[in-house]
A and B are shown apart, each in its own frame.
Chain A
Amino acid sequence: MYGIIAEDKSDVEVLKVIVKRLANNQSISMKGKGYHGCGEMLRKGSSQLKVFLKLGCQRFIICYDADRSSPCHRYDEAVAKIITPFGHKDKYCVLVPIQEIEAWILADLQAVTKIIPSWVPTKIYNHPESVNDPKEALEKLSRNTKKRPRYSHATHHVKIAEHLNLSRVKAKCKSFLPLENLVLKGEGNIK
Chain B
Amino acid sequence: MSDSIIPDGIKINQRKILVNLEFITCDKSYEYEVSLNTEEKDHENTYSLSEHIKVNVGRSWDTIVNRSDTEIEVNGLENLKLTSGSMTPCLAFIFSLVSDKETLDRLKPVREYLKNIHYYPIDEPSGVKPTDIKNFVVDSDVYFKWLSEFQSSPDPECSVIMKLIHMWKDKEEKFEELKSLLGQNGLSIINDIRIDSLSLPHALGKIPKEEQTYYFVNFYPSLESDKISKVLRYHDLSYGTRRLLRMLTAILHDESTLLLLEQPEDSIHSGLLNKLVPLLTTYVDPSQFVVTSHSSGIINNLKAKDIRLVAMKDAKTIVRALTKVELEVVEAFICEEGTLNDFLESIEIEDV
Asked if B340 lies at the interface with its beta carbon under 8 angstroms from chain A, I say: yes
Asked if B22 lies at the interface with its beta carbon under 8 angstroms from chain A, I say: no
Contact A36:B300 (CB < 8 A) given known A115-B185, A155-B186: yes
Alpha-carbon separation in the docked complex, A54 to B153 (Å): 61
User: What is the distance, in angstroms, from A144's C-beta to the closest C-beta of chain B?
Assistant: 10
Asked if B85 lies at the interface with its beta carbon under 8 angstroms from chain A, I say: no
Alpha-carbon separation in the docked complex, A143 to B341 (Å): 28
Are A139 and B282 in contact, with the CB atoms below 8 A? yes
Alpha-carbon separation in the docked complex, A10 to B177 (Å): 22
User: What is the distance, in angstroms, from A100's C-beta to the closest C-beta of chain B?
Assistant: 13
Asked if B333 lies at the interface with its beta carbon under 8 angstroms from chain A, I say: yes
Asked if A20 lies at the interface with its beta carbon under 8 angstroms from chain B, I say: no
User: What is the distance, in angstroms, from B171's C-beta to the closest C-beta of chain A?
Assistant: 11
Among residues of A, the one whose C-beta sits closest to the C-beta of B173 is A148
User: What is the distance, in angstroms, from B137's C-beta to the closest C-beta of chain A?
Assistant: 29
Alpha-carbon separation in the docked complex, A43 to B338 (Å): 7
Q: Interface SS of chain A: helix, strand, loop or mixed?
A: helix
Q: Interface SS of chain B: helix, strand, loop or mixed?
A: helix
Asked if A150 lies at the interface with its beta carbon under 8 angstroms from chain B, I say: yes
B162-191 to A contact mask, C-beta < 8 Å, 1/0: 000000000001001100110001110000
Are B181 and A155 in contact, with the CB atoms below 8 A? yes
User: What is the distance, in angstroms, from B255's C-beta to the closest C-beta of chain A?
Assistant: 14
Place the interface of chain A in its size category.
20 to 34
Are A152 and B339 in contact, with the CB atoms below 8 A? no
Asked if A37 lies at the interface with its beta carbon under 8 angstroms from chain B, I say: yes
With a 10 A CB-CB cut-off, give which of A34, A142, A148, A149 has the most chain B CB atoms: A149
Alpha-carbon separation in the docked complex, A38 to B337 (Å): 8
Are B177 and A149 in contact, with the CB atoms below 8 A? yes
> CB-CB < 8 A to A139: which residues of B?
282
Are B278 and A154 in contact, with the CB atoms below 8 A? yes
Are A150 and B339 in contact, with the CB atoms below 8 A? no
Are A143 and B285 in contact, with the CB atoms below 8 A? yes
Asked if A151 lies at the interface with its beta carbon under 8 angstroms from chain B, I say: yes
Are B186 and A148 in contact, with the CB atoms below 8 A? no
Asked if A91 lies at the interface with its beta carbon under 8 angstroms from chain B, I say: no
> CB-CB < 8 A to B285: which residues of A?
143
A148-170 to B contact mask, C-beta < 8 Å, 1/0: 11111111100100000000000
Contact A9:B334 (CB < 8 A) given known A37-B339, A154-B279, A159-B185: no
B282 touches which one: A38, A40, A42, A150 (CB < 8 A)?
A150
Alpha-carbon separation in the docked complex, A151 to B339 (Å): 25
B295-308 to A contact mask, C-beta < 8 Å, 1/0: 00000110000000
Q: Give the 6 A-B residue pairs with the shortest CB-CB distance, closest first.
A: A36-B300, A154-B278, A152-B282, A36-B339, A154-B275, A37-B334
What 16 new A-B contacts, CB under 8 Å, besides A37-B300, A150-B282, A154-B275?
Answer: A9-B274, A10-B274, A36-B300, A37-B334, A37-B338, A38-B335, A39-B333, A39-B338, A143-B282, A148-B180, A149-B186, A150-B283, A152-B278, A152-B281, A153-B278, A156-B185
**Chain B residues near A (Cβ < 8 Å):** 173, 176-177, 180-181, 185-187, 271, 274-275, 277-279, 281-283, 285, 300-301, 333-342
